[in-house]
Amino acid sequence: MIEKALKGGRGYWTWVAFLLVVIGLGVTAYARQMTIGLGVTGMGRDISWGVYIAQFTFLVGVAASAVMLVLPYYLHNQKAFSKIVIVGEFLAVSAALMCMLFILADMGRPDRVLNVLLYPSPHSMVFWDVMVLNGYLLLNLVSGWAVLGAERKGVAPAPWVKALIYLSIPWAFSIHTVTAFLFAGLPGRHLWLTAVLAPRFLASAFAAGTAILILLTFVLKRFAKFDAGQEPRLKLAVLSSYAGLANLFFLGTEFFTAFYSNIPAHKHSLQYLFFGFEGHAPLVPFMWFSLITGIISVSVLLSPPLRRKNGALIAACIGLVVSIWIDKGMGLVFGGFVPTPLEAIVDYMPTATEISVTLGIWAIGLLVLTMLLKTAIAVKTQE
């Protein structure tokens, strides 16, 4: 079926060519990083995770959000999602692929990643993160492709396909839970040392990922003439609003715990992010923009009259995605390193090399998603 992705008009091939150019720039930047080393990045001894891990953290949530379509469609027989459940599965594939590429980009010696498999360490969260990410990618790719092939032939999917789909539901929760444990298992970083980090990760994942799915339906309607319908969009908007509300609640509990207890170690990271700390405040404007945008977006999604208006729905979804991208990526990852265990304050700024590699990996993910959705839509519309 992949040959269907090789057919398209001028707009389609212009988009593909643009992505290939960005990928080329990213590969060039990554070759420079591999030649010189991680010294070309803004990372160092005090801040060892930068923009790569920030993107990884956000995209793990996007990958997990596919369950918001798979669960109601396959377990609760919600036929409204029948046209777009494949969109969620293929979005999970591209997001999981980008997650693994960002991990490789963050490693100084990516060839050593095979040691995770050759010399497994079950007590390590990194080992489990690699396992669940690879497993989730394969589950969604195999099950999504098998369902699409069966639909093309006009037959029911094989029984083993349903088993994989059901397995992918708890697996979706596991990938972000393990990622949260990867952060929370570092006792020297007080911003991450919290029991609500895993629930907060899941809430933000379902909020942002579902919003991206809504935006994808509008993109497909506009450029591919594939309309998933208003009903699934509105149902997804409700799910996204509740998840976004839960995410804001968890953020509020972090503030209460830190400032009501008045324990300095718990307060410092939040002070650095939202108010500035000892003269350092590079992220303060971004964090307040994230918080205000998130509150407004969730409020719009919670209002039935507003979310029924396409313009308001699109704006709210974009706002929610940007808000969580800032909070979960820049805020959570960068802020977790301030102050250091030695009480030093080190600001982080990504370099041009990091930004180029990041854009290149995003372009790879978008190219894979474009080709998968092109194939899926061609099959569903029989064009």
Identify the pLDDT of residue 126: 86
The pLDDT score that the predictor gives to residue 121 is 87
Q: Which of 13-22, 61-70, 309-318 has the lowest mean pLDDT?
A: 61-70
For residue 344, give the nearest of 204, 142, 188, 130 by alpha carbon. Answer: 188
Confidence of residue 234 (pLDDT cuts 50, 70, 90): very high
Residue 383 pLDDT grade (very low, low, confident, very high; cuts 50, 70, 90): very low
Higher pLDDT, 23 or 263: 23
What percent of the chain is modeled with pLDDT above 90?
75
Reported as a single tens digit per residue, the pLDDT across 36-74 is: 999 999 999 899 999 999 999 999 999 998 899 999 999
Q: 0.85 cut: is pTM over it?
A: yes
Q: Is the pLDDT of residue 94 over 70?
A: yes
Lowest model confidence (mean pLDDT) among 62-71, 202-211, 293-302: 62-71
Residue 248 has pLDDT above 70, yes or no: yes
pLDDT of residue 268: 93
Rg (CA), the chain: 21
- Which of the pair, 319 or 330, is modelled with greater confidence? 319
Contact 104, 110 (CB under 8 A): yes
Distance between CA atoms of residues 130 and 107, nearest Å: 14
> What is the percent of the chain with per-residue pLDDT over 70, rounded to a whole number?
100
Instruction: Return the minimum-mean-pLDDT range out of 104-108, 155-159, 378-382.
Output: 378-382
Given a cut of 80, whether residue 355 has pLDDT beyond it is yes
Q: Is the pLDDT of residue 91 over 90?
A: yes
What backbone phi and psi angles, to 5 degrees, belong to 312?
A: -65, -40
pLDDT bin (cut points 50, 70, 90) of residue 1 is confident
Whether residue 134 is predicted with pLDDT greater than 80 in this model: the reply is: yes
pLDDT value of position 372: 94
Return the half-sphere exposure (C-beta side, CA atoms, 13 A cut-off) of residue 189.
21
- Sequential DSSP letters for 194-259: -TTHHHHHHHHHHHHHHHHHHHHHHHHHHHS-----HHHHHHHHHHHHHHHHHHHHHHHHHHHHHH
Across 104-130, average pLDDT: 86
Q: Provide the pLDDT for residue 266.
A: 86
CATH number of the 2-380 domain: 1.20.1630.10
Residues 6+ apart with CB under 8 A from 339: 268, 269, 272, 277, 345
Higher pLDDT, 90 or 383: 90
Report, as an integer, the average pLDDT of 182-202: 91
